[in-house]
Amino acid sequence: MGRTVRRAAVGLTAGALVLGFPVAVSAQAGEPAEATAETLQASTLRDAAASQGIFVGTAVNDGLLSNSTYSSIASDEFSSVTAENVMKWESIQPSQGNFNFAGGDRLVNFAQANDQQVWGHTLVWHSQLPSWVRDGGMSASQLRQVMNTHITTVMDHYEGDVAYWDVVNEAFNEDGTRRPSVFQTTLGDGYIAEAFRTADAADPNAKLCINDYNIEADNAKSDGMFNLVSSLLNQGVPIDCVGFQSHLILDQVPSTFRSNLERFTNLGLEVVITELDIRVSMPADSAELQRQSQQFASVTSTCLAVEGCVGVTVWGISDRDSWVPDVFPGEGAACLWDDNYQPKPAYTGMLTALGGEPGGGEPEPPTGCSVSYVVNRWNTGSVVEVRITTSTALNGWSVNFTLPAGTITNHWNAQITQSGTTVRAANAAHNANVAAGGSFGFGFQTNSGATYTTPTISLNGANCTTA
């Protein structure tokens, strides 16, 4: 059996957004233990996923973390992050004994600042493998030592920081036989069991996964995976999960996806959708984008329907950052946000499948609010602290205003998105509820020291007075 199976509840924090369905409340003797909360729907993927007990992740491109639009989406919408490239062997041990953790550390810091899980990708893989390993002509004993040293050193470094590891990636050919990687041809079939045993010794608390593509359907390749993990479990090899990459093509979501996942969970393993995208022949028309939305929703619903499917990770944020056009010329539009970081129908489809609603439904405007907007400027930057007092109790809030100069580079106590000069700040999980007569605050930093008058600020659609 797998080491443990549970549904994760990542991103559920005390005081998290209360959702519009029955929730347990502390009950007095004789009272029912349930009450219906009269509040907002979850308006982000991560809040909606948390309400379902699963995580929702994205692959993060290290080079884009400094783009505040990109990083705001990554932090506000996702409860799990996977390094798109920086934890791969060629990045992390480019030459023997020379470990470079800088990119992976940046991701871990980002995740910790945003209350996110880190998914480690990947330890043993034939691709993005430096030539000193791939073409090094090592003997079996040399390569075994090199593989085990790599696993141990990387997992030791990230022990406690990385929740799941793709220990072995893409070990199969399409017909279900083993891919002839340098590990397979030099070490033989046993390299996978050895990699998992080494990983378990390095970090006994991390969940250990094997990950592959084109195994979503019940087919020869997924049979190969099924036979392997069955055999590993029979041998007592420590393995927790199987990652189904799910690089899908529009209109080709496999009909056997759910039953295929279930044969793996029936073994006691967790299953995860690890790299979801759905590519379209370019240019994509609106009908195709609508079908894509339904298909993102369908994959998400499939995970929710399978006990033991603990999360869905999408492979990248916007279409412009996706790996797809580089590898499949003429195809693209595979992600949830478009080239301008605007949410696509696919975003709404996935959010809705998770039980959320864009905008969270319209919150009631308050009958009155006043705002203090304090700016501290220097030559090339400013820090703005906003505090709003509301005459009406709030269960979730959304604040809109214009930022005449600069780009927001950092923010706190709110989820903030900026589109041109338009800024929207929505409550963080911990400050959604404000009593009548109470106040709440949030802040942000910009890259401009330009002066401007205090903008008009609206709270849940109603303009506030300036204090």
Residues that bind ligand G3I (CB under 6 A): 84-85, 127-128, 213, 245, 275, 323
Strand-pair category, 309-314 with 414-419: unpaired
Is residue 91 within 8 A of residue 125, CB to CB? The reply is: no
**Residue 327 Cβ, how far from ligand G3I at the closest point, in Å?**
6
* 170 noted as active-site residue: yes
Strand-pair category, 22-24 with 34-36: antiparallel
Distance CA 84, CA 87 (A): 8
Identity at 362, one-letter amino acid code:
E
- Say which of 84, 216, 275, 288 is annotated catalytic: 275
- Say which of 77, 84, 170, 216 is annotated catalytic: 170
Question: Residue 252 or residue 294: which is nearer to ligand G3I going by CB?
Answer: 252
- Cα Rg of the chain (Å, integer): 24
- 194-214 exposure pattern, b = at least 16 Cβ within 10 A, e = fewer: bbbbbbbebbeebbbbbbbbb
**Residue 322 Cβ, how far from ligand G3I at the closest point, in Å?**
8
Which residue's entry shows tokens 């759910």?
Answer: 258
Question: Residue 214 or residue 300: which is nearer to ligand G3I going by CB?
Answer: 214
**Residue 273 Cβ, how far from ligand G3I at the closest point, in Å?**
13
* 262 noted as active-site residue: no
Question: Residue 55 or residue 323: which is nearer to ligand G3I going by CB?
Answer: 323
Question: Residue 209 or residue 414: which is nearer to ligand G3I going by CB?
Answer: 209
**Residue 299 Cβ, how far from ligand G3I at the closest point, in Å?**
16
Following CA atoms 443, 447, 449, 452 in sequence, which dihedral angle do they give, to the nearest 10 degrees?
-60
Nearest position to ligand G3I, beta carbon: 323
**Residue 213 Cβ, how far from ligand G3I at the closest point, in Å?**
6
Question: Residue 103 or residue 343: which is nearer to ligand G3I going by CB?
Answer: 103
Distance CA 86, CA 78 (A): 19
DSSP state of 85: S
**Residue 285 Cβ, how far from ligand G3I at the closest point, in Å?**
25
Which residue's entry shows tokens 């397979």?
Answer: 184
Is residue 280 within 8 A of residue 252, CB to CB? The reply is: no
Q: What is the three-class DSSP state of 441?
A: strand
- 19-50 exposure pattern, b = at least 16 Cβ within 10 A, e = fewer: bbeeeeeeeeeeeeeeeeeebbbbbbbbbbbb
**Residue 12 Cβ, how far from ligand G3I at the closest point, in Å?**
28
CA distances from 114 to 276, 345, 412, 415, 416 (A): 22, 26, 10, 11, 13
Question: Residue 216 or residue 275: which is nearer to ligand G3I going by CB?
Answer: 275
Burial of residue 153 (number of CB atoms within 10 Å: 0-12, 13-18, 19+): middle
Following CA atoms 65, 67, 73, 75 in sequence, which dihedral angle do they give, to the nearest 10 degrees?
40
Question: Residue 275 or residue 357: which is nearer to ligand G3I going by CB?
Answer: 275
Catalytic residues: 170, 275
